[in-house]
Structure 1
Amino acid sequence: MHHHYLIYKPWGYLSQFTYNLKRNKKLLGELHDFAPDTMAIGRLDEDSEGLLLLTTDGMMSEIVRSKKVEKEYYAQVDGIITDEAVVALQDGVQIGVKGEKYTTLPCLAFRLEEAPALPVRQKKIRDERHGPTSWVSITVTEGKFRQVRKMTSAVGFPTLRLVRVRVGNILLGDFQPGEVKEVDSFDV
């Protein structure tokens, strides 16, 4: 029998269970007593947070990581994002992937008129003295390394905070950082 988990990965944690370099890092195994052979489906980098799915089922991992399953992110960006920047995100932008230029696939993107109701991040982003910020929703079907961060930078609005809020039909909802829920299956 396989095990499946939903987790709100907090800021500052790696999306893995082991880390072989000498630096001390916070790992997912510190948050819950997961079943043996549990793996993260995709990753959120150390500076990102939000919905992460974990499983012991390799086939389920393949399904969720496929381009058939949307992943939605809320990005707090430096400055007030423009309509032109949002259109560029929607159309696809050029980013660097493994030293090569890559154009992202078209995606759904729109400016959030209000800051989303998310838990306060453990590490303060910054304050108003550094200028205004805004929020954008970006829904992608691909997952290149640090893709959403690279996309917002490519249109001139670097990401300050990144939160994955949806994977397929599964929503982050009112989960809190570090919260883990075991489920029977994933309805993506």
Structure 2
Amino acid sequence: MRILLCILGLLFLFPSCKTPEARKPVSIKSGSFIDESINRNKQLAAKEEARIQRIINQDTSNSYITSEGGFWYFYNTKDTVSTRTPRFGDIVNFNYNVQDLNGNTIYSKKELDTITYYIDKEELFLGLREGLKLMKAGETVTFLFPSYQAYGYYGDDNKIGTNIPLKTTVTLNTITKESTKEN
């Protein structure tokens, strides 16, 4: 009897020494939603950029510049003497308006008033944040932003809806250098 109990004990012991095996997932996700979303966004971006390109081609009175950030702009007033552009932490004072690509005013300069902004330290939509870094004090620039450079999918929860490309005219009034901290 003792031998039988020892044999049964050994039979139960050996399977418990087995290393744990990874379990297979119950359901397999293919990632197709993400792939579809990427394709939709690429198509939307291409459509918006083609529309902006048509506007640029029709506007023969201005010389547009393509930015590295994926938006277009031209100078209404250009400073050819100064070389100082805003850097991280600098304080800029500016006015701007917001229009759709058809020229309909969404926010006027009067409505938005004068803005004081710490470069890259406060919230501002991506395109305008990058556009300000290209400007010098006293310049006025008109920017054309595809929606992914503006308010994107979410809009501004007020007057700007989903995926709206924007046209803004910005006047950079002053640049104040970031104060250096002394110990």
Structure 2 length-normalised TM: 0.26
Structure number with greater CO (CA < 8 Å, separation at least 6) is 1
Greater percentage in helix: 2
Structure 1 length-normalised TM: 0.26
- Which structure would you say has the larger Rg? 2
